Amino acid sequence: MASVWVPAVLTVVLLLLGGSYSSTGGPWCYNEAHCGPNTWLSIGHCGGKRQSPINILSHDSILNSKLGAVNLTGYEDRKKLLEIKNTGKTVDVELEDGLSLSGHGLPSSYTAKSFHLHWGDGVSKPGSEHTIDSKRYSMELHIVHTKNNMNVSDAVKDPEGIAVLGFFLEGSEKAKSKGKTAEAWEEFIKNLHKVSEKDKDEDLTSTISLLDLLGTTNLTSYYRYLGSLTTPQCNEAVIWTIFTDPILVPPKVVEAFPSELRSSDSSSGPPIKNNFRPLQKIGDRKVERSAGLGSAASFLSQSATLLLFLSITSLAASFPV
């Protein structure tokens, strides 16, 4: 009897342990083989068919001319950034209620709850999660909203419960250090050292609004598709909106994240870096593009113009004058 019971009891205990690990978020990570993205498949929904991020192929996208500018309300309010926290995986900013998102293709009004970022390792090692025609940008900002202001634990159970706005950040010398957007990001990164270790949080008394951080990004040019959270449990609950117009920031902003933030509770712990999930299969999903990205005809006319240019150049080359 005992010889049967011992393995049976052990199995049950191990199953329970395994279960509690994944339901509490699990010991997942980005940069170590034993807990990195390849091991996430067994956690939550991470092995599903509607996962994020993806590489967006502009030529495979479908124009939806009804997708106009997204309607952002309250984003200009400079008192909405409440608290900043180092989660050990990213830096997360909690937002006060009152910021709302609506627009075509969103079945309801969505309330912004928080924002966080993904990055690589400075300007030379980009770390956006989504890529467009395989281009990866320096960083990616995610503003997380829930449908009708549900709490996140309820929202992840609804296939359209969460709307994330994704904005690329590009470290560039062109971002004039006196520009308003650059100033807002420089102000924002001053908070990072206060939460340099994992689990540290700090109230923000900031005078920056989300709109200050977005700058002049064109809100009419974006891709839209259905996907998931990009971290375990990878819930398939997200309507993604990925803006194509990157926010240009000074290179020092991009450098600040991996250099100021630690992934453990020790000030000498490993930096948070390369915290982006690898690209997921698009499967049979469709990616829509907004009116601001133009019609197939404009793609066609661009290629026609190029062809014309090429033939004129080769004509010129064959008849030297």
Binding site for Zn ion (CB under 5 A): 142
DSSP 224-240: EEEE--SSTT--S-EEE
Binding partner at 207 among Zn ion, ligand NAG, none, C-beta below 5 to 8 Å by kind: none
Find out whether 145 and 162 touch, Cβ atoms under 8 Å.
yes
Cβ of residue 221: shortest distance to ligand NAG, in angstroms? 5
Interface region with ligand NAG, contact rule CB under 6 A, candidates 114-122, 151-159, 180-188, 268-276: 151-159
Q: What CA–CA distance (Å, rounded) separates 89 from 144? A: 16
Question: Is 251 or 292 the residue whose CB approaches ligand NAG more closely?
Answer: 292
Q: What CA–CA distance (Å, rounded) separates 164 from 198? A: 24
Cβ of residue 93: shortest distance to Zn ion, in angstroms? 12
Is the alpha carbon torsion for 244, 249, 253, 254 positive or negative?
Answer: positive
Binding partner at 142 among Zn ion, ligand NAG, none, C-beta below 5 to 8 Å by kind: Zn ion
Interface region with ligand NAG, contact rule CB under 6 A, candidates 150-158, 235-243, 264-272, 311-319: 150-158
Is the alpha carbon torsion for 74, 76, 79, 84 positive or negative?
Answer: positive
The H or E element spanning position 154 is helix 152-155
User: Should residue 109 be labelled a site residue for ligand NAG when binding is judged by CB under 6 A?
Assistant: yes
User: Should residue 73 be labelled a site residue for ligand NAG when binding is judged by CB under 6 A?
Assistant: yes
Q: What CA–CA distance (Å, rounded) separates 120 from 67? A: 31
Cβ of residue 166: shortest distance to ligand NAG, in angstroms? 17
Question: Is 10 or 296 the residue whose CB approaches ligand NAG more closely?
Answer: 296
Residue of 220, 259, 264, 274 that binds ligand NAG (CB under 6 A): 220
Q: What CA–CA distance (Å, rounded) separates 68 from 77? A: 23
**What are the residues binding ligand NAG (CB under 6 A)?**
71, 73, 100, 102, 109, 151, 153-154, 218, 220-221, 292
